[in-house]
Each structure stands twice: as structure tokens, then as C-alpha cells.
Amino acid sequence: MKLIEIDGCLGEGGGQILRTALGLSCLLNKPCRIFNIRKNRPKPGLGEQHLQALNAITCLCNAHIVGGYKKSEEIEFYPTDIRNKELKINIRTAGSIGLVLQPLLIAAFKNDLKVKINGGATYGKWAPYVNYLQTVLGSLLGHIGMDIRTNIVRHGFYPKGGAKVEVFIKKANRFSGFELLDLGRLEKIHIISVASRQLEKRDVAARLVEGALSIIEKSDLPEPRIGINYIDTIGIGCGIFIYIEKENGAIGSSVPGEIRKRAEDIGREAAQILLEDYSTEGIDRYAGDQILPFLALVGGKVKISKLTGHAITNMEVIKKFLPVRFKIDDNVVSVLKE
């Protein structure tokens, strides 16, 4: 079979190209070559989290790889049938668990999967918080029968990682097109704040919530349900996750702690992003790019609060594997079969 050629500098470039391509290659059993991997990034090539995503998807479908090593800027990926549906993944750094899981979620479209992860970070910059996959993305993919369950045994933060996470994914059972143009009435809003136990004396988790509330209380949203947790971790860190449950799905926003960044400012940032997305009535900007492979597989249309560069890039990658094109009209993305 001819290799599908994918330029890693396509669109915004970055690891998203790799993750989407690997997921679709595995699911559809179509080999691919990805070159110029993260070429324009400060540290080009495969980083630890990219390598572990590659290793996991390789194990899933017993693929043959050319160039699968750290800092590699080109790989060839030759998948076979998906057989190993219980995976164990080790991440030696604070690489994002949410990003490592992305290609596996695509492969799980037709396969129930059980994944255990040791190492990595539950929160990451420019990466989905682990429980976002269940509460937000899972709520949207439920429209095609998929179900995502996450169990955080131990949180991990940058720079040490050290998380322990279990993920259970149920495959789709509905393959006709679906529409997500309005998520319907608001039901609940939640604020989940976590911090290492060493930060309890400084009230870091509570201050994350305080910052978020200073924004939310000025909106028309109801009083949130709040969870403040101080936890045992290998390294010191914190993060906040805010999500809104609506009738037909959820939207969310998560932000990790950063050195020399006030907890209140982190909470405000998470709340501001969420309110921007909430005002549009569409799915949030983060789910916008993650849901596109599934939308392309079944057809339909979805309203995205903010069409990011990641989403546009993802469309270009998807078109390499599937005979579809995307129509964009006022942030409504429709999939049309070629």
C-alpha cells in the first residue's frame, strides 16, 4: 500500500499532526510517512510525550516503525490489525498524559481500550487535563456511543511528572452523522482545584478558586460546585479545571500552575477562557480540534466557539486519510464526503 505523505510543517505544525496521523493510520490500517516533525519548534523532532504516544499506538496495532527514536524528525509507520487492547505506558518525563492519549482515542473509535499510564503530567500547558477527556470530550463523543472513563490514582505536574492514571474507552456504536450546533440549557458548573500538599500552607488550591470566582461571579452563571484538593505528589504543582455541564454536552477549561505566576491569575485565566467559549453556545475551542477526526468518520456538523490553528491543521491531516472536505461557515464546521 502506498505511504500517505504528511509534512510536519503543515499549517501550525507541531505534535498535533503526529498524533492525528498516527491515530487515523492505526484505525484505518493506512501506512504513513511523517517528515519535518515539529520542524519549527524550539526543540524539533520527537519529544518524550510524542515518543510515548508513538510507542503506545505501535503496541496497539503491532506496527512497524522506521525512525521511532527521540529527536527524530521523520518516521514511517506501518500498522497492522488492532489486537492488543490493554496497554501499559511509561512516561519518564512530565509529558502530557492527555496528549499521549489523543491517538489512542482515535483508534478507540472501533475498539474498546484499557490503558494504564505510569509517569507524565495530568495537567500540562497547551494540553488537555486528563479528566477533561471524560467530562468534556467524552460528553460530546457520547453522541456516537463512545464513553471515556478516567481514574487518576496520582496526579503529576511539571517538571517531575510521576502521575498514575487508568483510562477506559468504549468504542462507538452509532455511525451516522451527528450535529452539535447548540449544547442546550445549562445544568451545572464545576470548579476543581488541586495542589500538592506542600502548597497547602499557602492556600494555593483555594486561591486558584478565588481567582476563578472573581470572574464567574460577574457573569450570569449560577453558583459553581467547588472541589479543593491537596494531594500527595512526586513533584510540587497545581492546576484548575472548570467545566459547564449542558443538556447536550459539556465545555471546559484547564490551566496548570506556573512558577512565578500567582494562583489567582491562573484561576482568572481559566475562567475567562471558559466564559468566552460559553458565550458562543458552541463546543469549546479545545474540543473543537479533538472532535474533528470523529466528525470526519461519521459525518455531520459542529459549532466551535473559536476555530483555532490546531483545528485548521487537523482538517488538513484528516483529508490525507479520508475522502472528505470541510466547510466552515461562522464557526460551524460541516463534513462533506468527496
pLDDT tens figures, 216-228: 999 999 999 999 9
Residue with cell 500538599: 197
Same domain, 159 and 224: no
Same domain, 170 and 191: no
pLDDT at 48: 87
Q: Please say whether the dihedral angle defined by the alpha carbons of residues 103, 107, 108 and 109, taken in this order, is positive or negative.
A: positive
Same domain, 146 and 242: no
- What whole-number distance in Å separates Cα of residue 193 and Cα of residue 224? 12
Same domain, 274 and 287: no
DSSP label of 84: -
Q: Please say whether the dihedral angle defined by the alpha carbons of residues 134, 135, 137 and 142, taken in this order, is positive or negative.
A: positive
In the chain, how many domains are there? 2
Among all residues, which ones are annotated catalytic? 310
- Range(s) of the domain holding residue 27: 4-181+283-337
Same domain, 271 and 296: no
Same domain, 55 and 200: no
Same domain, 262 and 116: no
Same domain, 103 and 18: yes
Cell, residue 262: 500567582
User: Which tens digit of pLDDT belongs to each residue from 182-211?
Assistant: 999 999 999 999 999 999 999 999 999 999
Task: Please give the average pLDDT of every successive group of 10 residues along the chain, which has 338 residues.
Answer: 91 89 97 94 90 93 94 96 92 93 97 97 92 97 97 96 98 92 95 98 98 97 97 97 97 96 98 96 94 97 94 96 96 92
Same domain, 319 and 170: yes
The half-sphere exposure of 218 on its side-chain side, counting CA atoms within 13 A, is 9
Q: Would you give the end-to-end CA distance of the chain in angstroms?
A: 21
Same domain, 75 and 121: yes
pLDDT at 62: 94
Same domain, 199 and 256: yes
pLDDT at 42: 87
Same domain, 27 and 147: yes
192: nearest Cα among 218, 222, 149, 226: 226
pLDDT at 243: 98
CB 12 within 8 Å of CB 41: no
User: Domain containing 29 — which CATH number?
Assistant: 3.65.10.20
